[in-house]
């Protein structure tokens, strides 16, 4: 691996890190992040990366840092809370986005690109990773990326149990279409159109008469999007019931994790639950499902 990345001295002593080891782990991620859009092969799976992203599993990073998995999970949780990274799952592998990578690496792009040959670029990921350049070099800002991620999560939640395919992290083209639809109708309209499509017997593929639907079909065409947005589908309102049950189940699971001392997993589950709740337009759930009574309790009644 050749070339270089920029690291500011303020990284040491940053409030997000409890010690220098955590700061060095973050620097390790920066050094291995893609310096331009690329296709990588990691653990036998082809993955698309934007500038400032890397594919890495918690276990592989723990091995590289000579730490246990819990240490890396706690670090990831803190970095996400500080809006320094974002993580999504793509093809079963975690993709880490270094927030604002482009801003503080932009001056080094000329040197870095010039120092590396296409073959050397293939070593920028960990072992078993190969990269192939892609065309667009887009700025990654995690705060801006939150909306596309919520759209994908909402699609996968609402269409669960239907023939509609599960959505993957949005490609640059789909992000462009999403931005146009959101500008035309507003962000809330995107979530409404998804719920209406999932509730439609025809467009969800439940009727078996049409099976060509997917998230790209909805976002690409203004006509398709408007058609789904204008549907007066009462069945769409029914989707809130299973979503509420999902939220309650996640809340209960988070409580179990905390009793087991697995705080980082509980915190991550809470954040995912909150995103699902907001995406589905459901108010805060105050009354959770009561636990099943024990046999002794049944006998005392």
Q: Please give the Cα distance from 154 to 83 (Å, whole number).
A: 21
One digit per residue, the tens of pLDDT, for the chain of length 301 reads 567 778 777 777 777 788 889 989 999 999 889 888 888 888 888 888 888 889 988 889 999 999 999 999 899 888 888 888 888 876 667 789 988 777 667 554 444 443 433 333 333 333 344 444 443 444 444 544 578 888 998 899 889 889 999 998 888 888 889 989 988 888 888 988 998 899 888 999 988 888 889 999 999 988 999 889 887 544 444 444 467 777 777 787 778 777 777 788 788 878 878 877 777 776 665 444 444 444 444 444 4
The token duo for 228 is 């789904």
Q: Are 251 and 266 in contact (CB under 8 A)?
A: no
CA–CA dist 110, 299 (Å, integer) = 76
pTM for the full model?
0.40
User: Which two three-digit tokens encode residue 207?
Assistant: 């009727």
d(Cα 113, Cα 52) in Å, to the nearest integer?
Answer: 14
d(CA 210, CA 14): 54
With 0-12 CB in 10 A as exposed, 13-18 as middle and 19+ as buried, what is 30? Answer: middle
Within the chain, all domains assigned CATH 1.10.10.10 are found at: 9-133
Please tell me the distance from the alpha carbon of residue 43 to that of residue 93, in angstroms, as a whole number: 8
Query: Does domain 9-133 bear CATH number 3.40.50.10490?
Result: no
């Amino acid at each position: 691996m050749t070339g270089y990345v920029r690291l500011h001295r303020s990284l040491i002593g940053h409030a997000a890190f409890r010690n220098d080891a955590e700061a060095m782990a973050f620097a390790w991620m920066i050094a291995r992040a893609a310096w331009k859009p690329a296709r990588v092969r990691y653990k036998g799976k082809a993955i698309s990366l934007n500038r400032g992203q890397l594919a890495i599993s918690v276990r592989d990073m723990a091995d590289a840092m000579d730490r246990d998995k819990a240490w890396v999970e706690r670090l990831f949780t803190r970095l996400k809370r500080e809006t320094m990274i974002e993580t999504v799952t793509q093809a079963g592998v975690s993709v880490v986005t270094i927030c604002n990578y482009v801003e503080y690496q932009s001056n080094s792009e000329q040197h870095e690109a010039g120092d590396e040959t296409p073959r050397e670029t293939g070593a920028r990921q960990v072992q078993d990773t190969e990269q192939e350049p892609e065309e667009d070099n887009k700025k990654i800002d995690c705060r801006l990326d939150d909306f596309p991620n919520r759209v994908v999560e909402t699609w996968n939640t609402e269409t669960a149990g239907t023939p509609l395919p599960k959505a993957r992290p949005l490609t640059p083209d789909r992000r462009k279409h999403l931005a146009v639809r959101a500008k035309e109708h507003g962000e809330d309209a995107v979530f409404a159109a998804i719920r209406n499509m999932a509730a439609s017997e025809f467009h969800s593929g439940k009727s078996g008469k049409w099976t060509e639907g997917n998230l790209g079909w909805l976002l690409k065409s203004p006509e398709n999007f408007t058609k789904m947005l204008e549907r007066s589908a009462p069945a769409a309102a029914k989707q809130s019931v299973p979503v509420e049950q999902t939220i309650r189940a996640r809340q209960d699971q988070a409580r179990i994790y905390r009793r087991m001392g697995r705080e980082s997993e509980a915190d991550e589950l809470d954040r995912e639950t909150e995103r699902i709740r907001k995406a589905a337009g459901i108010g805060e759930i105050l009354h959770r499902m009561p636990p099943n009574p024990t046999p002794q309790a049944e006998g005392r009644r």
